[in-house]
Amino acid sequence: MKAAVIWKHGGSEVLSYEEIKSPTPEKDHAIVKVSYCAVNHLDIWVRNGLPGKSASFPHILGCDVCGTLVNGFGNFRKGDKVVVYPAVESGVPRVSFSIIGGFSKYQGGYAELIQVPQRNIVKKPTWLTDIEASSLNVSYLTAWNMLERSRCKKGDAVLIWGANSGIGSAAILLAKAKGLKIITVASDKKKVDFAKKLGADFVIDRTKSDVVLSVLKHTNNLGVNAVIDHVGLKTWPVSIEVLKVGGRMIACGTTTGGKATVNIRTLYSKEAQLIGVYLGSKSQLISLHKFMKLKKIRPVIDSIFDLKDVALAHKKMEKSSQRGKIVLKISS
């Protein structure tokens, strides 16, 4: 089968499009013919390698899969359209799970065929295209979980960082449908316009305005009920600063670095809460599908690349020039 493989950690040049052996079916596992696989920042972390973590090579990236079942099991039939819930047991105490195509033992979806545990198979929503369905299993699921954990109610104010990102764009669409007041952050005119189109109530261009002052201006100096933070080091101090009393900061990512310096006194004097989110459960993925159907929400797709051009897709994400999800076409 054709796959994009990495044989070592490094830049986008380590992605090698080649012919490799197809997976051999294992007990209690399903093989999926992958049609589309969305790109996530995790793919870049794994490609680069993280301190103390290494993939076993050759490794296939890709955690956001839509495709067709090659063989049936249980209530699923051969040829059924499915998506893959990406979390598997981590085997590490005090770590919830690991991700297919990430640092887990499972190869990912940058390949014509993928083998995953049968329990990770979820029926593809019929009203979405394969491209759209491949985009929901990671960013949208995480954004959905973050919003649930924020416990925000209709009318509450939420600050969402990185409007153009996978997580940011998903959070804006879902928060809008939940009736939240959305303040978001972007870094150029095109991204500001994109955020407004998604439904944000206020968009702060962080290259032109101070984020803390702008949030206070839009919230009568009260601050926000919750912050959706996937950026990490650069944004954590601001995220805590803009919370209102009793506010919740929901964190899931470290795009700008994983060790932030924050004002602890600010956190406790507001009686604020800091909540970490790691993906979401399979049942949350199914409730996300239902919610999106009910609210007629379709994921925003930035671009589609052929698998052989995967390096270009990674470069686009690394430049942060996408607006919504970047998706790889794997097979037809």
Ligand X SMILES: NC(=O)c1ccc[n+]([C@@H]2O[C@H](COP(=O)([O-])OP(=O)(O)OC[C@H]3O[C@@H](n4cnc5c(N)ncnc54)[C@H](OP(=O)(O)O)[C@@H]3O)[C@@H](O)[C@H]2O)c1
> What is the DSSP code (8-state) at residue 20?
-
Residue 327: closest CA among 160, 188, 128, 120: 128
Query: Rounded to a whole number, what is the largest CA-CA distance in the chain?
Result: 60
The β-bridge relationship of strands 113-117 and 29-38 is antiparallel
Q: What share of the chain is helix, strand, coil (3-state, %, to 5)?
A: 30, 30, 40
- Among positions 140-159, residues that touch ligand X (CB under 6 A) are 142
Q: Given phi > 0 = left and psi -120 to 50 = alpha, else beta, which region is 61?
A: beta
CB nearer to ligand X: give 47 or 206.
Answer: 206
Site string for ligand X, 293-332 (x = CB under 6 A): ------------------------x--x------------
CB nearer to ligand X: give 23 or 106.
Answer: 106
Does 134 participate in binding ligand X (rule CB under 6 A)? no
Which range in 112-120, 214-222, 239-247, 276-284 contacts ligand X by CB under 6 A? 276-284
Site string for ligand X, 157-176 (x = CB under 6 A): ----xx-xxxxx--------
Q: Given phi > 0 = left and psi -120 to 50 = alpha, else beta, which region is 299?
A: beta
CB nearer to ligand X: give 101 or 253.
Answer: 253
CB nearer to ligand X: give 23 or 109.
Answer: 109
- Among positions 226-255, residues that touch ligand X (CB under 6 A) are 230-231, 234-235, 252-255
CB nearer to ligand X: give 55 or 317.
Answer: 317
Helices (H) and strands (E) in the chain, counts: 10, 18
**Contact in structure between 124 and 133 (CB atoms under 8 Å):** yes
Binding site for ligand X (CB under 6 A): 40-42, 45, 138-139, 142, 161-162, 164-168, 185-187, 191, 206, 230-231, 234-235, 252-256, 277-279, 317, 320
